[in-house]
Structure 1
Amino acid sequence: MSALTSEVKNAKSPVARWLRATFPHHHDVQADYREAAGPARVLPSPTVALGTQGAAIDWWLRFLIDPAPSVRLAVAGLRSGRASCERAGLELLHDLGAVDDDSNHAWPIRPARSRDLSDEWWARMSYALALLVELYRAARVDGSRLMQLGPDSRAADLLALANAEEVADLIAMRDLAVEQLLPRLPSGSVATGSTFEGSADLNADADLIVGGVLVDFKASQGRARTDGSRASGLTRADIDQLLGYVLLDYFDAFALHSVAIYAVCYGHYAAWPLDDLCAELAGRPIDLAAMRQEFAQVVRVELPDYRTASIVDRIRRRVAAR
């Protein structure tokens, strides 16, 4: 099954084409976001693996906000058999209270039970979970640091895979989130890593839903400026990803009323009431329930047809090239 994040980046995908045709007026939203974001406040060093680092701070933010986050994707990655660090991973997950002694069951963890552990431990643990999830999500993992571990490795070896610069940057981003994100979140029920009714049609899980607000964490460094600083940006794909989450909630199970982005390197939290954002992007008021049904038709009918045609076309080109 394809993923929302990949489909919105592919301009030829029926998902991206429908979103951009239905919500074409994005430039003002992007300009307002860039102006409000300001300069980056945490810039990772060149030794940082940016993709893994972004996933790691996502985990740490979940532990700050969600009293019982699930680590099911990390468990799934470990059980994939793509790396020989099962002993180390199970030991770490067991220490977190995420798996039982036989590793046959996985449960949400309780971060409050480990609040007395050091910031360095939290940073390294978040990084380790990010690596384990890559075993589940990434197309290739042969370059993963997990390949440095063997069957006899322990949890301490897994925790040691994050380098000192990555640990320092994660702590800095955590501190910034405590200052800039947590006070802006509404009260209400909390869910992290949530899937939607439409996730069965198009793989998608949201970083955070709290009090009816869907929040997407973005760890991008942004665009380099001539003075050496960096500027945050909101791409068309970023906007489409937010819209996609909302539309995949076919029957409004999460009662979403707003969407938001938190740029972790900038400490910038931008939130939009859903009706206002959709109306601005569409250039007119919209019926969200009707839009959800249209979108369901796109991902259930048009997207599979497109992907089948793409596969057939690739096969024909390979045959013709022989």
Structure 2
Amino acid sequence: MSLTSQIADRSSPLSLFFEDHLPYWQDSVAHLRRTLGKAPTPVRPPWPDGVKPPWGLIGRGIDERIRLMTGPTRTVLLRPDDRHSARLQRAELGYVLSFLRAALRHRSDEVRTAVEAATAALAASLDTRQGTGAQDEEVLARHCYLAAMFDVRGGIEPTIDWLLRDGAATTLDSWAAAVPDAAVEDLVQLAGLAAPVFAPLAVALPAERKVAAPLFTGSRDVGGADADLILGGMIVDCKATIRPHRIGRAELYQLIGYALLDYDDIYQLDSAALYLARTGTLVRWDLDELLDLTGAEMGIGDLRDALARTLQTARAARREALAARWEAHRASQPGRSPVLAAWREELYSRLHTTMLATLKADAAPDGGNGE
């Protein structure tokens, strides 16, 4: 389960941990709402009446635009072979890419070549446009929307169909031209609100103090959670909701969760912030102050250790349940003949050995690298 799913599930180990160790989230939300009371009215998405905006794509699109606005950033590899971190390299784009590559195996060489070239061009564009000025804002908006499409977690098949619809005629320009104009207009107005907030921070910080889509030592304990941005010692979570006054428990615990998943203090975080994209408001807390507001009775180091124990115990329990289900399934499949039974027993034995080895490596503190 993802970080947000576990927070939403009041019975999950993570949610129970927060309720036990940080029970007074309402105080921090009250502070947030007092700040929002002084903020401008949220800008509305310019979509026609009766058309539901693609909220997820717009949200991820402005996340991407803000990352570009902050200029060059670094990707932190938690270990030299960490696949979770390596996927965040710009050339990998995002979650959809592996599905797109699989779909291309069944297409002609011409289609594969065209789509792969368009994908590479998008990656190169995002790389070279870091820190680009407003004269390219519409182009940037289109490319950020496309980048968001590569990171969707639901509706994979419609996304793949959209990316492949032009077949061998696919180019980055054809993709960009097909981005809805209302989405472009919305992202341009959101970028205009973000620039005064993030541009000064971008100038003040060297590249090594800026991290896009950071992962944490504890990310694997919650399904690979990655945050939006780290600037200096400040972790930033961006929200593009049109109703920022509804932000509450889930969003606050999500922000704190990212900070606590940094078990080894790799990022040396000292503050946490929510950026409300439709008001251009950055609400920032000193991290120790935020934990005090939410009722923490121990320091951040002890909270991280306690969270690690909680989540890793839950993972171990899930692994044991998975192994038990596997054994039950194996026992319920009698062979149809002595030869088939022997062959099936050998196959199951090999699969079982491989599965247990994988689970053991995943459970090891060093991820099974032997380091």
Q: TM-score, normalised by structure 2?
A: 0.70
Structure 1 residue ranges without an equivalent (≥5)? 100-107, 223-230, 314-322
Match of 1:151 among 148, 167, 171: 167
Partner of 1:103: none
Shift of the alpha carbon at 1:270? 0.4
Are positions 1:122 and 2:140 aligned together? yes
Partner of 1:105: none
Structure holding more strand per residue: 1
Distance change (3 Å), C-alpha of 1:93 and 1:283: same
Give the secondary-structure state (helix, strand or coil) at the position aligned to 1:11.
coil
CA contact (8 A) 2:96 2:156 kept: no
Aligned residue runs from structure 1 range 1-322, under 5 A: 2-37=1-36, 38-44=39-45, 45=47, 46-68=51-73, 70-74=89-93, 77-81=96-100, 87=113, 89-96=115-122, 98=124, 109-112=127-130, 118-134=136-152, 138-144=153-159, 146=162, 149-152=165-168, 153-183=170-200, 187-188=205-206, 189-202=209-222, 203-222=224-243, 231-282=244-295, 284=297, 286-303=298-315, 305=317
CA contact (8 A) 2:93 2:123 kept: no
- One-letter code of the match for 2:33? R
Shift of the alpha carbon at 1:154? 1.9
% of aligned pairs identical? 26
CA contact (8 A) 2:122 2:172 kept: no
Distance change (3 Å), C-alpha of 1:75 and 1:139: closer
Quote the Cα distance in structure 1 between the aligned partners of 2:310 and 2:178.
42
Distance change (3 Å), C-alpha of 1:86 and 1:281: farther
- One-letter code of the match for 1:301? T
Structure holding more helix per residue: 2
CA contact (8 A) 1:67 1:112 kept: yes
CA contact (8 A) 1:87 1:151 kept: no
Give the secondary-structure state (helix, strand or coil) at the position aligned to 1:254.
coil
Deviations 1:138-187 (A, max 9, x none): 24323337266243222222212321111001000000001234346763
Q: Which has the larger radius of gyration?
A: 2
Quote the Cα distance in structure 2 between the aligned partners of 1:298 and 1:129.
35
Deviation larger for 259-268 or 116-125:
116-125
CA contact (8 A) 2:22 2:294 kept: yes
Deviations 1:254-312 (A, max 9, x none): 0000000101011110010011111111254x221111111111211125536976999
Quote the Cα distance in structure 2 between the aligned partners of 1:79 and 1:300.
28
- One-letter code of the match for 1:168? E
Shift of the alpha carbon at 1:207? 0.8
Q: How many residues align?
A: 293
- One-letter code of the match for 2:271? S
CA contact (8 A) 1:66 1:192 kept: no
Give the secondary-structure state (helix, strand or coil) at the position aligned to 1:91.
helix
CA contact (8 A) 2:236 2:274 kept: yes
Shift of the alpha carbon at 1:39? 4.6
Give the secondary-structure state (helix, strand or coil) at the position aligned to 1:118.
helix
Quote the Cα distance in structure 1 between the aligned partners of 2:197 and 2:171.
36
Deviation larger for 164-173 or 111-120:
111-120
